[in-house]
């Protein structure tokens, strides 16, 4: 009788930490992808900084905040979840210009009362996004004519349980780095709740 083999997870299966270097002029690269469970190591060549991750639209912790990163105090932290994208900053402001995609992502955007959270999500080049409605069933997404649509097919937002809700992959050319793709959302035929929107910012460096 054959015996089934059980695969046990080993720490050796986890890739080495992704280095993230902070300089006086910022962070480079500003957006990147890592594998599921892969840690990141924050280090600094000069300033002492704190790393603040933007609160997830649905309350999921992707990374814990980090304090006191300096030339003598690099810090390595693991992701707290798989397959999710998070934005972060180094100054504690309301702007989160940097992105880490864990696994397949996506960056989750919540739509409620026509307001988008986050309003200006950042995704790495080739990243993914998923918009979910938490109030009415159906929103329409309109993209700026000048900017174009970085996520072909993303024209509708449904609730999480709707089979039409899915993840979209960014398929832009590399020269779209840093570009802000403007969008607006409005309820599909039904009660008028006004219009909201923002920008999806794609970065590859």
Tell me if 85 sits within 8 A of 106, measured CB to CB: yes
Tell me if 49 sits within 8 A of 90, measured CB to CB: yes
Interior CA angle at 205 toward 71 and 66, to 5°?
Answer: 40
What pLDDT score does 65 carry?
98
Q: Is 11 strand, coil or helix?
A: helix
What pLDDT score does 8 carry?
45
Encode pLDDT of 162-174 as tens digits: 999 999 998 776 6
What are the DSSP E strand ranges found in 84-155? 84-89, 98-102, 107-112, 115-117, 122-124, 128-133, 138-143
What pLDDT score does 145 carry?
75
Encode pLDDT of 85-130 as tens digits: 999 999 999 999 999 999 999 999 999 988 999 999 999 999 999 9
What pLDDT score does 147 carry?
73
Would you write out the chain's pLDDT as a tens digit for each of its 205 residues?
555 454 444 566 889 999 999 998 888 789 999 999 999 999 999 989 999 999 999 999 999 999 999 999 999 999 999 999 999 999 999 999 999 999 999 999 999 988 999 999 999 999 999 999 999 889 999 998 777 788 888 999 999 989 999 999 987 766 677 788 999 999 987 655 567 889 999 988 6
Is the sign of the CA dihedral 24, 29, 31, 37 positive or negative? negative
Tell me if 155 sits within 8 A of 139, measured CB to CB: no
Strand order in the sheet with 49-53: 31-34, 98-102, 84-89, 49-53, 66-69
| CA pair distance 122, 119, nearest whole angstrom | 10
Place of tokens 């409005």: 186
Query: What is the pTM for the complete model shown?
Result: 0.89
Burial 172-193 (b: 16+ CB within 10 A, else e): beeebbeeebbbbbebeeeeeb
Q: What DSSP assignment string belongs to 69-86?
A: EBTTB-EEE--SSSSEEE
What pLDDT score does 78 carry?
97
Taking every pair of Cα atoms in the chain, the longest distance, rounded to a whole number of angstroms, is: 66
As given in the structure block, the two tokens for residue 92 are: 């504690």
What is the set of domains in the chain, with CATH numbers?
14-104 (2.60.40.420), 106-205 (2.60.40.420)
């Amino acid at each position: 009788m054959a015996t089934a083999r059980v695969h046990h997870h080993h720490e050796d299966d986890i890739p080495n930490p992704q280095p993230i270097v902070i300089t006086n002029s910022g962070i480079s690269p500003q957006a990147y992808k890592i594998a599921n469970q892969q840690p990141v190591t924050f280090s600094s060549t000069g300033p002492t900084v704190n790393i603040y991750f933007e609160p997830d639209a649905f309350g999921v912790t992707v990374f814990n905040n980090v304090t006191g990163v300096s030339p003598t105090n690099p810090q390595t932290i693991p992701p707290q979840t798989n397959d999710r994208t998070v934005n972060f900053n180094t100054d504690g402001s309301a702007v989160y210009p940097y992105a880490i995609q864990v696994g397949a992502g996506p960056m989750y955007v919540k739509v409620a009362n026509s307001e988008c959270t986050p309003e200006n999500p950042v995704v790495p080049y080739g990243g993914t996004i998923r918009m979910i409605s938490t109030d009415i069933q159906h929103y329409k997404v309109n993209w700026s004519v000048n900017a174009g649509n970085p996520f072909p097919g993303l024209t509708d937002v449904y609730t999480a349980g709707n089979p039409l809700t899915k993840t979209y992959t960014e398929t832009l050319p590399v020269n779209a780095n840093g570009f802000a793709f403007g969008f607006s959302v409005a309820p599909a035929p039904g009660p008028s709740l006004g219009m909201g929107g923002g920008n999806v910012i794609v970065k590859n460096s």
